Amino acid sequence: MYPLLFRAVLSRFDPEFAHHAGMAVIRVLGVPPFSWATRALTRPDPSLRVEALGLTFPSPLGIAAGFDKNAVGVRGLAALGFGHIEVGTVTAIPQEGNPKPRLFRLIADRAVINRMGFNNEGADAAARRLAKLRRGAPDAVIGVNIGKSRVVAVEEATADYVASATALAPLADYLAVNVSSPNTPGLRGLQAVETLAPLLRAVRVAAGETPLLVKIAPDLTDEEIAAIAKLAVAEQLAGIVAHNTTVSRDGLKTPDAEVEAAGAGGLSGAPLKERSLQVLRVVREVVPEDFCVIAVGGVETAHDVNERLAAGATLVQGYTAFLYRGPLWGREINRGLVGR
């Protein structure tokens, strides 16, 4: 039903407008009595609970950062059956992001290209919303993904991340340091081990008892990925989010002219499936068994989630498939996982 509705109606709308309209509906679903009815349809089976990061996740499937940038839809997403919601990316300084248009569908590939540029209302606004959420916490884990403010020089990035961590760590179930978005100039350069080590060390201190993870890019070599994974362990991080969007355009079904018209940005969705599994396996080979690895990229079905869990993922996140499969996607995955 939803795929037909998407192709016939929703795909005709500007992608960013459609996302905001969808988020408005999600917010309504998080408010009683709508949330009661929604939860009755979507609540994950108790057998799907996962213990990780010192927390209990109702389901291994969560929503990746980028979907709810300002922590406005957490209750609705939790009501739809997602075991955790990673809000953000949040920056210390509010910013509008890149000029529009900046979000593009590649329907033939079930993929999206985005160059949003960390558009968000800033750490203080996110902290106020999270504090309100904590007064009536939803049945889901809330992670917060933090990034570098665009106006801050790369040389001053550590202090910028520390400011966000200081404001948000007391209100987050975990923090994820985003050094891997392709849409903030100079950001991916922070993934070099010699640069990343002092940054993670400082943010970990600021995070205190809140579990800290780092989110990496799929465009690194396997050797670079392994080196960052080993660094995360050495710096006593709680885990890794593997991975962000890619700048690659290899193997797409969408006509080249359409891809080129979309321009620069990170690609997400079905085309990342194989690379996601490869990155997951590289990370899992070099980290301890109890180290949390969150797999992201190309996740569409319960089989995809199960495949990642079998390959060593602790948890799994999705985003793009939600756009193509609709609001009951989380329920579809959770029901498919029961008994596997």
Active site residues: 181
| SS3 of residue 335 by DSSP | helix
Pairing of strands 61-63, 212-216: unpaired
Give the torsion sign (CA, 137, 60, 147, 72): negative
Phi/psi for 325 (5° steps) reads -105, -15
Rounded CA-CA distance 284/165 in Å is: 26
How far, CA to CA in Å, does 55 sit from each of 61, 86, 168, 206, 302?
14, 14, 17, 20, 23
Which residue, among 53, 211, 207, has the nearest Cα to 199 in the 3D structure?
207
| Alpha helix ranges (H) inside 116-251 | 123-134, 157-168, 193-207, 222-234
Q: Cβ contacts of residue 276 below 8 Å, gap of 6+?
A: 218, 242, 243, 295, 296, 297, 298, 299, 308
Rounded CA-CA distance 288/210 in Å is: 20
Q: Sheet containing 266-269: which strands, arranged edge to edge?
A: 103-106, 111-114, 266-269
Phi/psi for 111 (5° steps) reads -135, 170
Contact between 210 and 237 (Cβ < 8 Å): no
